Amino acid sequence: MLTNKFAELQDNVYEYETNNKSSTTKQLKENIFGKKPEDFFYFADEALAKYKSEGKISTFITHNSTITTLKDYVKVGHIMFQDITPDFLAKYERYLQTHQNLKINTIHKHLKFLRKLFNDALRLDKIEYQHNPFTKFKLRLEKTQRHFLSDEELSAVENVVTVPGEKMDLHKNMFIFAAYTGGLRVSDVLKLRWQNFDGCHLNIAIHKTKTQLTIKLPNKSLEIINKYHSSETKPMDFIFPMIPNDTDLDNAQISYNQISSATAYVNKNLKFIATKAGLDKPLSFHISRHTWATRALRKGISIDKVSKLMGHAQLRETQIYAKIINSELDKAMDVFNN
């Protein structure tokens, strides 16, 4: 065996010298014996630490949950990349579904992050291609329905009677504002300061993508925003008074805590508003985003402009809404079959 391995080593050295390549003893050893097994959890923890150091708190919390769940499953402090095989993933998927009672799409998010770690490890030359189980294991995903409000349903929300000055009224106005203003995410609405408003346009950096965006406010949005302006208003004050004006949003952990808490409060009140409006849809702030997108496409705004105003990184993210509109048109044409 030693004679054969030495012959392989000589062949490798000869190949590298013939092709004028430089080679290290580590590379030669890996060519013959393969790569040294890498600890998956160590690699994953390093990736999580990077998210945290970059201030991506939400991403850190989400993916940390994935790794914690996997650690609970294997019940050991370490596992090698090579130990995670297609069969391992199939059993783990069943465990998440039967023991953790997770839905298909939640499981998909967990496994998607594991797949990303394998792809990163492959790119960094930590593992070999044949040790990536996701080349044979396919992730499952169920189609979900994107809820949005029709013009009549949005009007019903607008007509819900609330008391000015109370949080219920504020949360309703924030939802309507977003539904008319490019479908802004709740994080972006919460972070709006008066210095972002020039009297006609909002000039902001999108919280999720960090891209700069300028939005001209329609009359309904101007009507709402002016309710919260007074002679005592300062440029650094938040437009919608949900977060204390002296909050340091540059601190990633503080920003995450404040936005998460405020979002939960808003969504709780939106459920009451939906009941008062007689809606049979699960109203949350994100529905304002879907509502704006579908209404914008119906009103003839081109898909590239809708994509730009929504701050989408890629056009295919916006095409989901175009499919919704096309599906509605298909149903409308079915009347000719009756």
The DSSP element (H or E) to which 212 belongs, if any, is strand 212-216
The per-residue pLDDT for 334 is: 63
Name the percent of the chain lying above pLDDT 90.
Answer: 60
Q: Is the pLDDT of residue 327 over 70?
A: no
Q: Is the pLDDT of residue 17 over 80?
A: no
The per-residue pLDDT for 221 is: 96
Of 3, 79, 74, the C-alpha closest to 41 is 79
Can you say how many angstroms the Cα of residue 35 is from the centroid of all Cα atoms in its chain?
34
Long-range CB contact pairs, 222-227, < 8 A, 24+: 224/173, 224/176, 224/177, 224/180, 225/177, 225/197, 227/164, 227/173
Cβ distance 104 to 140 under 8 Å? yes
Give the β-pairing of 201-205 and 212-216: antiparallel
The per-residue pLDDT for 208 is: 73
The per-residue pLDDT for 16 is: 64
Of 129, 113, 136, 130, the C-alpha closest to 43 is 113
Average pLDDT over residues 285-298: 89
Cβ distance 189 to 171 under 8 Å? no
pLDDT digits (tens, 9 = 90+) for 253-272: 999 999 999 999 999 999 99
Q: Is the pLDDT of residue 29 over 70?
A: no
Residue with tokens 């925003």: 225
Q: Which domains does the chain have, with CATH numbers?
A: 2-27 (no CATH), 40-135 (1.10.150), 151-337 (1.10.443.10)
Of 105, 107, 39, 42, the C-alpha closest to 69 is 107
- Kindly report the number of other CB atoms within 10 A of residue 301's CB atom: 13
The per-residue pLDDT for 38 is: 85
- In whole angstroms, what is the distance from residue 197 CA to residue 185 CA? 17
Choose between 208 and 63: higher pLDDT. Answer: 63
Choose between 147 and 168: higher pLDDT. Answer: 168
The per-residue pLDDT for 211 is: 78
pLDDT digits (tens, 9 = 90+) for 98-155: 999 999 999 999 999 999 999 999 999 889 899 899 999 999 988 877 788 999 999 9
Average pLDDT over residues 214-234: 94
Of the chain, the end-to-end C-alpha distance in Å amounts to 79
The length of the chain, given as a count of residues = 338
The per-residue pLDDT for 300 is: 82
- Kindly report the number of other CB atoms within 10 A of residue 59's CB atom: 14
pLDDT digits (tens, 9 = 90+) for 66-100: 999 999 999 988 899 999 999 999 999 999 999 99
